[in-house]
Chains A and B, each alone.
Chain A
Amino acid sequence: MENFAFSVKNELHKYAKGRFAAKFETFSMRLLFVFLLLSSVNTFAQNLTLSGYVRSAETGEEVIGATIFVNETKSGGVTNVYGYYAISLPKGNYNITYSFIGKQPVEKQISLTENTKIDIELKDNQVQLKTVEISAEKKDQNIRSAEISTQKLEMKQVKNLPAFLGEVDVLKTIQLLPGVQSAGDGNTGFFVRGGSQDQNLILLDEAAVYNASHLFNFFSVFNPDAVKDLTLYKGGIPARYGGRLSSVLDIRMKDGNSKQFAASGGLGLISSRLTLEGPLQKNKSSFLITGRRTYADLFLRLSNDDAINQNQLYFYDLNTKINYKINDNNRLFLSGYFGRDVTGFGEFFGFDWGNATGTLRWNHLFSEKLFSNFSLIYTNYAFNISGDIGPATFSWRSYLNDYGIKGDFTYYANSKHTLRWGIQSTLHKFDPGEISAKLEDAFETTTTLSENDGLEHGIYLSDEFKVTDNLLLIYGARLSMFQNIGPDNIYTYDKSDPIFYEVTDTTTIAQNEIYNTQFGFEPRLSLRYTIDETSSIKASYNRLFQYLQQVQSSLSVAPYDIWFLVNNNIPPQIVDQVAAGYYRNFFDNELETSVEVYYKWIQNQTDLVDNADVLGNELFDGQIRYGDGWSYGAEFLAKKQRGLITGWLAYTWSRTERRIPEINNGEAYFAPYDIRNNLTLAGTYQISDRVNIGANFIYTTGRAYTLPIGKYFYNGTSIPLYSKRNSNRLPDYHRLDLSVNIDGKKRSTPEKRKIESSWNISVFNVYARKNPFSVSFAESEETQGAAESNMFYLPGPIPSITWNFSF
């Protein structure tokens, strides 16, 4: 422990050069003090440690979030994201129950005389029609954990719900959760508790995904076959996460079947998928490779019409993972994602974009009490637009790269304390790109947008403290630090006109020069108090800093994302959120209910000024204004996890506002995704052994929008007159989707291998509601001088059929 404290201090010294040393010194001393105080708790209770991994019996995959319950002490633990658990117990005999949703619980009798390692395998719960009750099973994790405002999704359930065009999509399913708003019909964009889209930290095996969408936001980049676990944090965000204000969506990829070779896949209307996985060395190493490609363009090519058959519109993605168990204490994981969207119109126009991520991880157990993970992380997002129409050509390439390194430690100190700490550094290299246009000999212009580089660091420490049997407390803090790195141009603006800023001065920063260093102190606190066996109350507070954001209207679906780092003109955004909730389970934990309320303050909330011009604009920071943002709401959730009918009903009441001096005359206005009422129902009903039906229903009141209050003419052109920003509402939104899943007969090959297949039939927007995605106001093409309003919407109903298989 002392070693770690020393190394923390050492790290701090490395960062703390020059004038920042003093500031850091104080902080590191404070941190050291807290640390020593905590580590002293280590000395008084001489307990033994029971630890190990929980895995799936069928695939050998580690199970995330499995519950370990000690019947004698009525206490226990939960496996971490690598399937590891450790609990402290005095010497003695115990009955331990290992359980996880959808798996048969395992009971184990243990005589604990020394530190013991027990790895457990849990079998899939195949009995679906009979509701077998196992009294020992603890299913009240929602009551007992301190996690508030946190939602986990079962991939099995996600796959049974209706899917748009048959493409199962985790981002669309999380939009059905309370506190999460969708960006529009068939759109993967989401807003959490009044936060903008760029305030969501989306992690795929720890690598940040900057644009999680395919095909103009219709589909997400997450192939459901590669996803093992998904957790969404809307509040009470743990100290190990930082960098985005409003949510963390932590997606973990499957490791690959370590027991036997397996293949699965599907053929859908627009895409097909294939997953191959298996052991490289049995129980020692395994691999997973999963790919997906849409094929609408293959049909386009069959057309005789040149205008159609030369068009391209497709995406593909590939997830791969290899893991290698060196020994009981060391394990390596290498995972990667690569995806691309390609659109093109003949030879005239090409537009492609995509993400690539890579993570190399090393799990190391220093002792059964000290679990650690070290990661090297790479993320890339790039787009490329090019056009060639004979004499006129243009191109725009842009990319952003993240190179990260991090170390996370969990110390299962004793039955009362679990400590977590870690350190993280990321180098951001954002290149908005070079835009060049050429018209034969007439003109040639190249706009080089200046590169935007920075370093983002974070260190954190938190303690999960079981104060009494009823009171659980997680407290901690994160210190974040951000530094801009040259080369860069810093613009000084004349801000006398609040709408149009004029550049008055440009300061050039040299290559690799570090400037504009900023710190953020981010305290985090969550507590849970159990009232009785079936109910608890929870509360949380978190503060987060965000040092990078996106220049984009929040509702645009264009993939030319420009992310930028805070600089001398734009300060970091800061959020403070408090949330409190009441949790109550009924019918032996079969029905989970909760009510949560939250209030969020955002400092330096940014928005685009009226008539902002950000597309390829070097001076984009002169188009951004910042001020205050706040949002509050209540979320009601009833969730049924077992039985023939499973699913949830959620209702959210919320309100999101901003006040930015230069926007809307300095008056408060609603955020563009402000939606007052949001009701969602997502459920499946198991009709027979082989057939289940699923339904989604969404009803929300209208989104805030700016509508014209009149029109006028200038040079004979009709121009809409607007009043206040987002002071009107679009019509209410509602939609029903239905699905039927039919499992094929289970067959066994001579080698007793199971071949399974299933059909999924989905209908999106069953009753063909025309929900406006956006509304435009323009001069009528037929009648000069007349104005008209048009909406973009997704037509319905859209049926689809998908065939899935696995063996």
Chain B
Amino acid sequence: MKKLINIFLIFTATIIGCEAPIDLELNNSETGVVVIEALLRNVNKRDFVKITKTTSFYDNEGEDLVSGANVVLEGNGTSYNLIESSHPDSTGYYIKPNNLSFNNGETYTLTVIAEGETYTATSTMNYLPGIDSMEIYYDDIQFIFASEAFQIAPEDTSYNIELTYQEDGELGDGYLFKYYVNDSLASVNPRDFVFFDDEFLIEGPVTGAAQSFTKAVAQYGDTITIEMLSIHPDFITFYEVLFNQTDLSGNLFASSPPANVPTNFSNGARGFFQVADVNYKTKIFKPLYKE
């Protein structure tokens, strides 16, 4: 609902004022802050810790990857070195060892030594319920909008992936949903992620839309796979703030001043470290009408 209000406000802002690009003299003296992207899943799939450095704001050169860092993951009484990819296009990517699994409730520490500085973060793997069932429905809201004034192009027809899972009733968990079409990740942009914490979930079976996608993304008969991850509520805050700061910052109606997206790394590094349990469910794409 807040999103709806925000959309309205952004719209209002554009009718009462003009927007134009402005080139400001920015003080870029502090570029080169280390950024660590580390979402490690409890599944034997290729994950990595990506290390970059901040660049100047108007710089268009892409990411400044950091090579030669020492990346160590500790937990459960053992420690693992994450080795930098040897592929020339993947410098700055430190690969999670094969067959590495995480334990529920266990806290893991990620230590990164890059360019002489040490950065650490910890993350606990949270409870994740199994997915009992999965259905793909036509998004029924779109039909209410459909009228002469508001035609839906065939490729814009949208579908919801609905899941049923058992909520344990204990607070402090958060879930992140991504989906795959024929085994390739379709929710690439974080704006396509669905995430929420369990504050409003009631103990017992929960049924709800976990993702939505359009006809442009998948054909009937394609394999749709949903990925459900357990994440810490702080990681949800991280994403929420990320979107607020990147979509709403400086807006006439923004209720909070511009500020950095939070991090769980020490020593001034940006980014976030999360160890996540993960479950999958797959369905062949053949949408149903919801009753």
Verify if A721 is at the interface (C-beta below 8 Å from B): yes
Task: Enumerate B2-61 residues with CB–CB distance to A below 8 Å.
Answer: 2, 4-5, 8-9, 11-13, 16-24, 26-31, 33, 35, 37, 52-60
Find out whether the CB atom of A556 lies under 8 angstroms from the CB atom of B259.
no
By beta carbon, the residue of chain B nearest A554 is B257
> 1/0 contact trace for B137-161 toward A, CB 8 Å?
0001100110001000000000000
Verify if A366 is at the interface (C-beta below 8 Å from B): no
Verify if A777 is at the interface (C-beta below 8 Å from B): yes
Q: How far apart are B214's CB and chain A's nearest CB, in angstroms?
A: 19
Find out whether the CB atom of A715 lies under 8 angstroms from the CB atom of B259.
no
Other-chain contact of A719, B18, B256, B261 (Cβ < 8 Å): B261
Verify if A471 is at the interface (C-beta below 8 Å from B): no
B residues less than 8 Å from A614 (CB atoms): 255-256
Q: How far is the CA of A795 from the CA of B16 in the complex (A)?
A: 10
B residues less than 8 Å from A343 (CB atoms): 12
Verify if A773 is at the interface (C-beta below 8 Å from B): yes
The count of chain B contact residues (Cβ–Cβ below 8 Å) is: 77
Find out whether the CB atom of B30 lies under 8 angstroms from the CB atom of A710.
yes
Find out whether the CB atom of B254 lies under 8 angstroms from the CB atom of A775.
no
Task: Enumerate B213-264 residues with CB–CB distance to A below 8 Å.
Answer: 234, 237, 240-242, 244-262
A residues less than 8 Å from B262 (CB atoms): 499-500, 610-611
Find out whether the CB atom of B57 lies under 8 angstroms from the CB atom of A556.
no
Q: How far apart are B235's CB and chain A's nearest CB, in angstroms?
A: 11
Please judge, given known A-B contacts A385-B5, A553-B254, A777-B57, whether A721 and B33 are in contact too, CB under 8 Å. yes
Find out whether the CB atom of A710 lies under 8 angstroms from the CB atom of B21.
no
Task: Enumerate A212-246 residues with CB–CB distance to B below 8 Å.
Answer: 215-216, 218
B residues less than 8 Å from A442 (CB atoms): 208-209
Find out whether the CB atom of B56 lies under 8 angstroms from the CB atom of A710.
yes
Q: How far is the CA of A108 from the CA of B255 in the complex (A)?
A: 59
Please judge, given known A-B contacts A709-B31, A728-B27, A793-B18, whether A715 and B189 are in contact too, CB under 8 Å. yes
Other-chain contact of B259, A306, A706, A710, A730 (Cβ < 8 Å): A706
Please judge, given known A-B contacts A349-B8, A613-B256, A792-B17, whether A778 and B60 are in contact too, CB under 8 Å. no
> 1/0 contact trace for B198-215 toward A, CB 8 Å?
001000000011000000
Please judge, given known A-B contacts A614-B256, A710-B55, A718-B246, whether A790 and B22 are in contact too, CB under 8 Å. yes
Find out whether the CB atom of B17 lies under 8 angstroms from the CB atom of A793.
yes
Verify if A552 is at the interface (C-beta below 8 Å from B): yes
By beta carbon, the residue of chain B nearest A385 is B5
Q: How far apart are A185's CB and chain B's nearest CB, in angstroms?
A: 8
Verify if A16 is at the interface (C-beta below 8 Å from B): no
Find out whether the CB atom of B140 lies under 8 angstroms from the CB atom of A391.
yes
Task: Enumerate B50-107 residues with CB–CB distance to A below 8 Å.
Answer: 52-60, 62-63
A residues less than 8 Å from B16 (CB atoms): 215-216, 218
Find out whether the CB atom of A672 lies under 8 angstroms from the CB atom of B35.
no
The count of chain A contact residues (Cβ–Cβ below 8 Å) is: 81
Find out whether the CB atom of A712 lies under 8 angstroms from the CB atom of B21.
no
Find out whether the CB atom of A712 lies under 8 angstroms from the CB atom of B144.
no
Looking at A218, A615, A726, the one whose CB has the most chain B CB atoms below 10 A away is A615
A residues less than 8 Å from B272 (CB atoms): 714
Interface window among A111-119, A424-432, A457-465, A781-789: A781-789
Q: How far apart are B82's CB and chain A's nearest CB, in angstroms?
A: 18
B residues less than 8 Å from A744 (CB atoms): none
Q: How far apart are B94's CB and chain A's nearest CB, in angstroms?
A: 16
A residues less than 8 Å from B5 (CB atoms): 385, 615
Find out whether the CB atom of B55 lies under 8 angstroms from the CB atom of A712.
yes
Other-chain contact of B26, A613, A707, A774 (Cβ < 8 Å): A707
Other-chain contact of A553, B21, B27, B245, B255 (Cβ < 8 Å): B255
Please judge, given known A-B contacts A391-B144, A793-B17, whether A556 and B55 are in contact too, CB under 8 Å. no
Q: How far is the CA of A706 from the CA of B250 in the complex (A)?
A: 9
By beta carbon, the residue of chain B nearest A218 is B16
Looking at B191, B246, B250, B271, the one whose CB has the most chain A CB atoms below 10 A away is B250
> 1/0 contact trace for B169-204 toward A, CB 8 Å?
000000000000000000011110000000010000
Other-chain contact of B52, A218, A387, A713, A720 (Cβ < 8 Å): A713
By beta carbon, the residue of chain B nearest A794 is B17
Other-chain contact of A779, B18, B246, B253, B259 (Cβ < 8 Å): B246
Please judge, given known A-B contacts A719-B246, A778-B249, whether A713 and B63 are in contact too, CB under 8 Å. yes
Find out whether the CB atom of A716 lies under 8 angstroms from the CB atom of B33.
no
By beta carbon, the residue of chain B nearest A551 is B255
Verify if A437 is at the interface (C-beta below 8 Å from B): yes
Q: How far is the CA of A440 from the CA of B54 in the complex (A)?
A: 45
B residues less than 8 Å from A725 (CB atoms): 257, 259
Q: How far is the CA of A427 from the CA of B190 in the complex (A)?
A: 48
Find out whether the CB atom of A720 lies under 8 angstroms from the CB atom of B258.
yes
Q: How far is the CA of A556 from the CA of B249 in the complex (A)?
A: 11
Verify if A722 is at the interface (C-beta below 8 Å from B): yes
Find out whether the CB atom of B1 lies under 8 angstroms from the CB atom of A437.
yes
B residues less than 8 Å from A770 (CB atoms): 20
Verify if A661 is at the interface (C-beta below 8 Å from B): no
Verify if A791 is at the interface (C-beta below 8 Å from B): yes
By beta carbon, the residue of chain A nearest B30 is A709
Find out whether the CB atom of B52 lies under 8 angstroms from the CB atom of A791.
no
Find out whether the CB atom of B26 lies under 8 angstroms from the CB atom of A708.
yes
Verify if A394 is at the interface (C-beta below 8 Å from B): yes
Q: How far is the CA of A633 from the CA of B44 in the complex (A)?
A: 64
Q: How far is the CA of A783 from the CA of B59 in the complex (A)?
A: 12
Please judge, given known A-B contacts A709-B31, A712-B33, whether A610 and B237 are in contact too, CB under 8 Å. no
By beta carbon, the residue of chain B nearest A499 is B262
Verify if A750 is at the interface (C-beta below 8 Å from B): no
Other-chain contact of A776, B37, B189, B249 (Cβ < 8 Å): B249
Find out whether the CB atom of A616 lies under 8 angstroms from the CB atom of B2.
yes
Verify if A435 is at the interface (C-beta below 8 Å from B): yes
B residues less than 8 Å from A391 (CB atoms): 140-141, 144
B residues less than 8 Å from A443 (CB atoms): 208
Please judge, given known A-B contacts A553-B254, A777-B258, whether A714 and B17 are in contact too, CB under 8 Å. no
Find out whether the CB atom of B21 lies under 8 angstroms from the CB atom of A788.
yes
B residues less than 8 Å from A558 (CB atoms): 9, 252-253, 255
A residues less than 8 Å from B140 (CB atoms): 391, 440
Find out whether the CB atom of B141 lies under 8 angstroms from the CB atom of A390.
yes
By beta carbon, the residue of chain B nearest A390 is B144
Please judge, given known A-B contacts A708-B57, A713-B52, whether A552 and B255 are in contact too, CB under 8 Å. yes
By beta carbon, the residue of chain A nearest B58 is A787
Please judge, given known A-B contacts A774-B251, A792-B17, whether A709 and B57 are in contact too, CB under 8 Å. yes
By beta carbon, the residue of chain A nearest B22 is A791
Verify if A717 is at the interface (C-beta below 8 Å from B): yes
Task: Enumerate A675-691 residues with CB–CB distance to B below 8 Å.
Answer: none
Other-chain contact of B18, A345, A721, A794 (Cβ < 8 Å): A794
Q: How far apart are A75's CB and chain B's nearest CB, in angstroms?
A: 52
Find out whether the CB atom of B4 lies under 8 angstroms from the CB atom of A711.
no
Q: How far is the CA of A394 from the CA of B2 in the complex (A)?
A: 10
A residues less than 8 Å from B55 (CB atoms): 710-712
Please judge, given known A-B contacts A721-B260, A789-B24, whether A710 and B241 are in contact too, CB under 8 Å. no
Q: How far is the CA of A615 from the CA of B5 in the complex (A)?
A: 10
A residues less than 8 Å from B189 (CB atoms): 715-717
Q: How far apart are B43's CB and chain A's nearest CB, in angstroms?
A: 18
Verify if A797 is at the interface (C-beta below 8 Å from B): no
What is the interface of chain A, defined by CB distance below 8 A to chain B?
215-216, 218, 306, 343, 345, 349, 351, 385, 387, 389-392, 394, 435, 437, 440, 442-443, 445, 499-500, 552-553, 556-558, 608, 610-616, 672, 706-723, 725-726, 728, 730-731, 770, 772-779, 783, 785-795
A/B interface sample: 5 pairs, CB < 8 A: A216-B12, A710-B30, A716-B190, A720-B245, A721-B57
Q: A711-B57, A720-B249 are in contact. List 7 more A-B contacts (CB 8 A).
A: A437-B1, A610-B259, A714-B190, A715-B37, A716-B189, A775-B22, A793-B18
3 closest cross-chain pairs (CB), A and B? A776-B250, A610-B259, A390-B144
